[in-house]
Structures are given as C-alpha cells and as structure tokens.
A and B are shown apart, each in its own frame.
Chain A
Amino acid sequence: MRRWRPADLLFWGGLALVTLVLSLASKQIGVATGWKWLTKFPKGWELHADRAISAAMKWLVEDAALGPLRFRDLTRLLSALVEAPYFVLRDFLIDGFQIGQGQQAVPVLPHVSWLVVVLGFGLLAHRAGGFRLAALVVASFLYLLLFGLWESAMVTLASVAIAVPLGVGLGILLGIAAFRFRWVDMALRPVLDLMQTVPVFAYLVPILFLFGFGAMSALVATIIYAMPPMVRITTLGLRGVPEEIVEAGRMSGCTPRQNLWKVRLPAARGMLMVGVNQVIMLTLNMVIIASMIGAGGLGYQVLTALRKLDVGAGVEAGFGIVILAVALDRLSQAIARRSPAVPAEGGWIARHPRSLALLAVLLVSYPLGALLPALNSFPESWQLSTGSFWQEVISWINLNLYDQIEAVKVFALTWVLVPVKLFLLGIPWVWGLVLAFAIPAKIGGWRLGLMGLAMASFIAASGLWPEAMITLYLCGVSVVIAMLIGVPLGVWAGQNAQANAVLTLVIDTLQTLPTFIYLIPVVMLFRVGDFSAMIAVVLYAVVPAVRYAAHGIRSIDSQLVEAGLVSGCTPRQLLWKVKLPLAMPSILLGLNQTIMLALSMLVITALVGTRDLGQEVYIALTKANVGKGVVAGLAVAFLAIMSDRIITAAVNRKRGEDHA
C-alpha cells in the first residue's frame, strides 16, 4: 500500500479542515463582514446564458435561413423523412391503414393480427437462438397481450424499429468517417462526450423546440441518445481488425474501398453487433423516457400510473418494459452470436421456409380476422390484471412494515443525507471555486485545475450553485453507498465462481432495465423525496462498481497471487496486501462509471421531487424553456466531465507510481 507523504497529508487535511470551518461558519462570516455576496451568489452578477440561448434558438426556428431555404423547412423535411416510415409501421401494427384524413378517413386494411406479430418474433428467435429463445420471446409477448399492454408495446416497438436502424446506420457511417479521417475523429470526440454526459432531459428541450411535441421529437432524441456508442464501437472495431487480415485483403488485390467494405467492416462484424445490441437497449431506455414528450407507448403507461400512484398499473406496465427489454436484448445478442449458417441447398423457397410460412399466415390472417374479431384484437375478456394484488402487497407493506421503513428513512435522512446536504450547501461559493481549482490541480496538474475553475464559475454565474451542490450531495452519497455495497460484492464475485454466476445474472438484469423502472418500487415504498431518489440511484449505479471490482480481481496475474501465497500470506493479507492494491485501477474505473450512471439517473429522479440540477432541467422541459434546460444540462455535464477527468488523472498517477 502507498504511504502518504507528509506534504500530501497536510494539503488534504488542511483543505478539509478549512472547508468544514467555512461551511459551518458561513452565516456568521457573512453577518460579521457584512458581505452577503460571500455566501450567496449575487443576482446581479449572473451571466444569463440561458436567455441568450433561448433567443438564439428562437431566431434559429423563426428567422434563420440559408437563401430561400429556411431552417424551419429543413426541420420539417427531416421530420417528414423520419415520420413517414414510422407512421407506415404504426398503421401496420396498431392503427390500420386508411385513405383520407380525419372524419372522411376510409379504412383500407386493419392493423395486423397479434398472432402474426407473436409468430414472427417467435420464428425469428427460433432461427437465431433455438427453441429456448423462441419460448422466452413468445412468453414475453403473451405477457403483453394478457395484461392489456399490447397496443402500448406496439407503439414502443414501432419507435424502436425506426430508431434502431437509423441510429445504427448513422453510427456506422460516422464511425467509418472517424476511422478514415483523423480530423473527423478529433471533431467528433468532444461531441460524443457531450452527447453521453448531457442528461437526456436537457436535449429534449431544444429538440422539442425544433420538432414540436410528438413522435418526431422522441425519435430524434432517441437517436441522439443511442447513437454515440455505435460510433465509438464502429471506429474501435475497424481499428481492431488484425493487421494481417487487412494485409491479406491488400495482397488479394483489394482497392482501398474494397478493403474497407469487403474486409474491414465484415471482419469487425462481431464488434459491430455488440454496438447494435447497445443501441437497441439505449433506444428502449430512451423511448420510455421520451414518452414524456409524446412518444406514447409503455413509458406513457408507467408515467400516468406513477402520477396517479396506481400501483398495479405501474407494476404491470413496468414489468412489460422489463420483459420487452429482456426479450429484445436476448434476441439481438443471439443474432449477434449466431455464426452464419451453411447456406442451405435448393431454391429460394426451400431456403426460406420460415419467411414463407409467416407470409402465408399474414395473408390468411386478414380475411380470418374479419370473421374472428378475437384474432384481430386480443379480447379484453381474456386479459388479466394483477393490479389489485399489487395494491394489496403495497398496502400490506405499508401497514405492517411502515414503522421499519420509516425508521430507516428517518435514520438515513437525519444522520447522513441532511448533514451532508447542509455541509455542502454551507460552503461559500467563493471557497467552492477555490476547491474546484485546488482539487483537480493537485491530482491532475494546473490545466485540469483551470478547467475545473472555469466549469465551476459557469455554474455559479448561471445562478445554479445551490442546485449543483444538491446534485453533488445526492450523487456523492449515492455513489459512496453504491461503492460500499458494490466493491465488496465484486471482490467476492471475483474470487468465487458461484457468487460470480449469481451476481452476473442479477447485474445483467439490472443493466437491461430502463432507468425509468427503478422509480416504480421506490416511489411505491418510500414515496417522493431525496431518500427515494438516493435508493433509485444506488440501485442503478451499483452495477459498474460490482462489475469493475470483479474484473479487477479476476484479471490479476495468478503468478502474483501465488507469489503472495508462497510468501506466507493469510487469505486476509492476500486480499488486502496483494489483490486489492492490484485491482485498484480497475476499481477506480468502476467508480468513474458509477458516478456517470448516478448522474444520469439523478436527472431522472427529478420526477420524484428532488431539488437539484435535474429538477431544473425537468422544469425547463415542462415549460419548454430552451435556455434554462441547456444551461442546467451543461452544468450536469460539467460535473460528469470533471469527475471523469479527475478520476482518470488519479488512475494514471497511480499507474505511474506503480511503475516508477
């Protein structure tokens, strides 16, 4: 283990002490000196970047033009391009095809029978992953049918079906461009960083402004949200193709273009499919969130249930999302893993038995559906509801466990949450700026310090200092708790195969869940407030803590462990003196990821009534205030970027020390 140098000890100890004193005595200092601006950022000094942004946005939408082509026309054109296939798909799945508009509309073809959809997915799953996967997928769809979630699920599915190909396609193209041209790579990198750190609500606002409330905005937001990993993975995948394979392509006489499309891209196929899977999961997550801006679907059901505190409906719709997510995840993973099969002999008909069968069923289903309405729409009388059951479960818990839950909550609030909150809020913003420079500068050099100072100044000058402190407090407490739970679990999983198997399953499931879902049980049990927010954040952010710790332990060179054993370490010494120090860089990376996830979840928890930056963004969203939303969103992104840079610098420094 590293020993502290006296100078370091003095620095950190002193900093902590001064901060504590200033925080506790800030009121008195303000009163004694008569300088109120010390503790409260003066209104008159604010930058009003939000107003400028709002005005710019307004100009963009209303007046901006390039010659005869107005910006508004451009967005309309884009809308039309994306919306056209979306509405065709919706008509096919849900609304049915019609000619004409509104009252005069003449139905031409009803929506497709549920049976065809279930069958189609079942056959696809069977082809990709055999009987078991098919059973899983069919069961998932049956759940949606039985619980009356079919229509919402189809709306969600339609959004996913449009957003995923677009996200994947754009991602691959951008990824190729970044691979081919260095300057594209350089330009894209910070943009991708921002796209992944700015909270989703924040860019919902300008998008709403540009495209209006409805499906189009939701789709655009979804694509922006889901595309970045595809870009990165494409570039990585193309770079990762073994040089020998590329050389084989060149020696085969490929032109550079052929080498890209026929050699590199197909050879990177495994990696690309990982990206596609990610895009699907992110899309699903975002489609659910986007229900707030008119995407409809399963997310909307959860949202209304949450608002009405309708436990049963909330749980059922929530399960629907989970089930759909798991089914799509397994399906896409199976397709990714499937090695191309030996091409079957025979003509087209013999080679595509499934597609043909499905087509036949589709054609038959229309006339049959006219005769048998049950085939067309799943009859309501066949549907189940467990709503009352869940209501009772919650009531039972509230009746019988109320005192215990309340005690835990009160304890956490009085002894952890509130003190930390008061401490952070007490720090005068001037001293906060000093900290924002000193901490990163100490760890990563003065450049990083200046970056921290600039970002913190932006936050203060936007009048968001208290909100940022609340964000910091909620995020900080949640991350500490997540690490306290996650790292020991990860260490355990890293040393014990059985524990690993179980934990991997739990973690994989947790990671498939759209962020929205975490709110349901939390709100049901703990109602709204900081405590609920914290629980949701911890649940969501604990995953990387476990995963990276386990990875760190497992990837230790076994020779080093053996060296420890031979030196006579007890198991405990082995853990503390050999394994943990070696796994530390990996654990720190896990911390980094945990912070990122915590911040992104925190914004979502604005729905359960926190008072942090997320709430600011959310309010801006509901009021369609572009400037406010963007500024608050940037503030969150700055917190994320700073913590990322500081931890990366710490990891690098640690690595450097180990090697020195």
Chain B
Amino acid sequence: MEQPIILECRNVWKLYGAQADSFLQTHGMQPTPEALRRANIVSAVRNVDVTIRKGEIFVIMGLSGSGKSTLVRCLARLIDSTAGEIRFEGRDLLAMSGPELIALRRHKMGMVFQHFALLPHLTALENAAFPLEVQGIDRKTRLERAMQVMELVGLKGRENRYPHELSGGQQQRVGIARSLIVEPDLWFLDEPFSALDPLIRREMQDELLRLQARLHKTIVFITHDFDEAIRLADRIAVMRDGAIVQTATPEELVLNPADDYVAEFTQHIPRAKVVRLGTAAKPLGPGPFAGDLTASLRVAEAADRIEAADLPFRVLAADGAPMGQIDGRTVIDILIGREVAR
C-alpha cells in the first residue's frame, strides 16, 4: 500500500548570478550548461523532480557543491527557487504568504543544521524550547516540554549548559531536540552528522534510526557519505551538478546504477550489505529446505546461517508466500562481489 505524498516538487531550478530570473525564461526553461557558463550563472539546482511519501527516510546524496543544501532550502522555502513548483501536503508552498509560512514552520516542519546553529546566548534547554518561545508559549510549559525532548535525545542532566560547553555530538542532539519539539510531520536534516567524528557519527545514526522507529516522521536527510545514505535510507536521490541523476532504493542503486557516476559511488559498497534475500533468491526448487527466511532480510544478515546449512533456505515474501530459494553458493557469490544475475 502506497503512503500519501507529503512533499512533491516539479522542475525546480535555482540559479545564482546576475539576471538569473529572466535568464531561464529567455532560454525556454531548458538552458544548456554552455549557455549558463557563458552568462556566468551558477545553477545550484537544475530541473529537479522529487516525490516524498509519508513515513519514509528520503536521502539526498551527492558530492560537496552538488546543490544538496540549496535544494533542501528550496524545499523548506528558506530560499525562493528560481522556477518550478513545490507542494506540501497538496498545498502550493510557493504561493504561501509570510504568516502562513511561519505557521507551517511552527507546527509542521523541523530542520537540523550541519553546524548545529544553536543560539549562543541560550542554554541547551532554552535552545530546545526556542520554537515554543517564539510561539509565545509560557516559560514553564515550554521548558517542561523541552525537558521531555532533551530526555528523548539522551541529554538529560546537561540542560543548563551553554552550547560552547557541549561537545559536537551533544550540540547536535540539542539541534535535534529543538527541531523535534514542535512535533513536525516533515523533518529536514542537512548533513547533520558531517561535522562529527566517525565514531560519534555512527552512534548518532543509530540514534536517528531509534528515534524514527518511535516517532515515524517523514525525513529528508542530506549527506555526502554514501555509507551513511545506505544505512539510513528507504530511498536515495543522487545529485550531481545540481541535477538528480537517479532516485531509487539503496538496493536498486547498487545493482542498477543509472550511469557511471552513480556506479562510481556504489562500487566499494559490499553488495551483501544492500542486497536483500528477495532479490538474490533463485527460482523455488523442489526442496528439501533447511528453513524459511523473509525476503526483506539483507544477505549479510543471513549469510552465516545459510552458509552453515547444507540445504538451501526458502525465501518468503512479506505475505508469507514462498517466492524462491537461496543457497550458500549464491551468498558466497554476493559476498565476494561476483556478478549476480537478477
């Protein structure tokens, strides 16, 4: 069953430079890269289509300067896109007035920033309570509420520290608490863990997955790290030079990269960590079988059991119907990276 669409954008452009607005019209909404370069215009986002469904983790991934931040700022309408349409829950985001937009941000959207963007003059707790403060909610209520989110992100006991007294990971937890306090439906995270060291980053990724398992938000997550994308994503959009090259599940991306650029990214990713049993399964044989496994399991997760058994395993689809079988040999093929037939 498909979830309803929460955010959708069509043909979004964002150009920087002199006369960027009229430029697009004069070039029939389809300027060539050469024309852009000649006019000295940077196209940070070009002709992007995105559809984000309720409850998914949608990762936008690309190298530095590929336009991820610009795109997400267009989606949150922190900056106005040069052209295109953006709909939030079916409403035209670009047509919204200032007060409507403020109301939207006060109740439906949250954002976490790469460099934390905490207010230096407020304590961690006051920072987390800030969105409620600007709504005019009284101090006692908002601090109580902030206390709850601080607990949620595991910062209990550090409420009264100032940002500069917290480590990077702790600061980002405050940033997360602040963005969650209004219980947003749509949650933007712009490279939230890039400024953290690798160990803390892993820890925070687990934290995010744990939070998501409880809260079921719709998440738009930006990263330039493909490993991070694969760990978190339901779907990934790969950006290059402002355009989206491919939007797909991590598995599809690894198995069927749209072009060499995407292939380059996916090359070093161990297939077993991405490919699911359902994809790797061979047609169902007569048996006998060592047991049953669900199709959504990743190969790496079931590899030990499959290899240890002499007989193949039966693979069951989500509804419990058998859809194929998998044996040790197939798993080894995938583990050592030999081409897998689909």
Chain A residues proximal to chain B, CB less than 8 Å: 242, 244-245, 247-256, 258, 262-263, 266-267, 269-270, 339-340, 342-343
Contact = CB atoms under 8 A, between A and B. Distances in A.
Interface of B: 73, 76, 78, 98, 102-103, 105-106, 109-111, 113-115, 117-123, 130-131, 133-135, 160-162, 164, 175, 178-179, 182, 188
A248 B113 contact: yes
Contact of B160 (A247, A248, A250, A342): A342
B134 A262 contact: yes
Contacts of B135: 253
Contact of B162 (A247, A249, A263, A340): A340
Contacts of A269: 120-121
B105 A251 contact: yes
Most buried by A among B106, B130, B175: B130
Contacts of B121: 266-267, 269, 340
Contact of A253 (B115, B120, B123, B131): B131
B178 A252 contact: yes
A274 B78 CA distance: 31
B105 A250 contact: yes
A266 to B, nearest CB: 4
A244 B179 CA distance: 14
Contact of B119 (A245, A250, A255): A245
Contacts of A263: 119
Contacts, number: 75
B106 A253 contact: yes
Given A253-B105, A342-B160, A247 B117 contact: yes
A343 B121 CA distance: 13
Given A248-B113, A249-B119, A266-B119, 17 more contacts: A244-B117, A245-B117, A245-B119, A247-B113, A248-B117, A248-B118, A248-B178, A250-B78, A251-B78, A252-B130, A252-B134, A252-B178, A253-B102, A253-B182, A256-B98, A269-B120, A342-B160
A364 to B, nearest CB: 35
A251 B108 CA distance: 10
15 contacts: A242-B115, A248-B118, A251-B76, A252-B130, A253-B102, A253-B134, A253-B182, A255-B134, A256-B98, A262-B130, A266-B119, A266-B121, A267-B120, A339-B162, A342-B160
A339 B117 contact: no
Nearest to B110: A251
B115 A252 contact: no
Contacts of A249: 119, 134
Contacts of A340: 121, 162
Given A242-B117, A266-B119, A269-B120, A247 B73 contact: yes
A265 to B, nearest CB: 9
B177 to A, nearest CB: 12
A247 B134 contact: no
Contacts of A256: 98
A267 B182 contact: no
A244 B105 contact: no
State the 5 A-B residue pairs at the shortest beta-carbon distance, nearest first: A253-B106, A248-B117, A252-B131, A244-B117, A251-B111
A175 B188 CA distance: 34
A266 B86 CA distance: 33
Contact of B115 (A244, A254, A266): A244
A268 B113 CA distance: 19
What secondary structure prevails in chain A residues at the interface with B? helix
Contacts of A252: 105-106, 130-131, 134, 178
A251 B179 contact: yes
B105 A343 contact: no
Nearest to B162: A339
Contacts of A267: 119-121
Most buried by A among B105, B118, B119, B162: B119
B102 A255 contact: yes
Contacts of B110: 251
Contacts of A247: 73, 78, 111, 113, 117
Nearest to A266: B121
Nearest to B160: A342
A254 B134 contact: yes
A340 B98 CA distance: 34
A253 B77 CA distance: 12
Nearest to B113: A244
Contacts of A248: 111, 113, 117-119, 175, 178
A267 B121 CA distance: 7
A253 B182 CA distance: 10
Contacts of A270: 120
Contacts of B120: 266-267, 269-270
A250 B76 CA distance: 10
A342 B111 CA distance: 27
A422 to B, nearest CB: 55
A270 B119 CA distance: 12
Nearest to A256: B98
A266 B121 CA distance: 6
Nearest to B105: A253
B129 to A, nearest CB: 10
Nearest to B175: A248
Contacts of A242: 115, 117
Contacts of A266: 119-122
A107 B120 CA distance: 49
Nearest to B161: A342
A267 to B, nearest CB: 6
A400 B120 CA distance: 60
A613 B32 CA distance: 64
A254 B110 CA distance: 13
A494 B98 CA distance: 52
A346 to B, nearest CB: 14
A255 B100 CA distance: 11
A487 B113 CA distance: 45
Contacts of A262: 130, 133-134
Nearest to A342: B160
B183 to A, nearest CB: 13
Contacts of B164: 339
Contacts of A253: 102-103, 105-106, 131, 134-135, 182
A271 to B, nearest CB: 11
Contacts of A244: 113-115, 117
Contacts of A245: 117-119
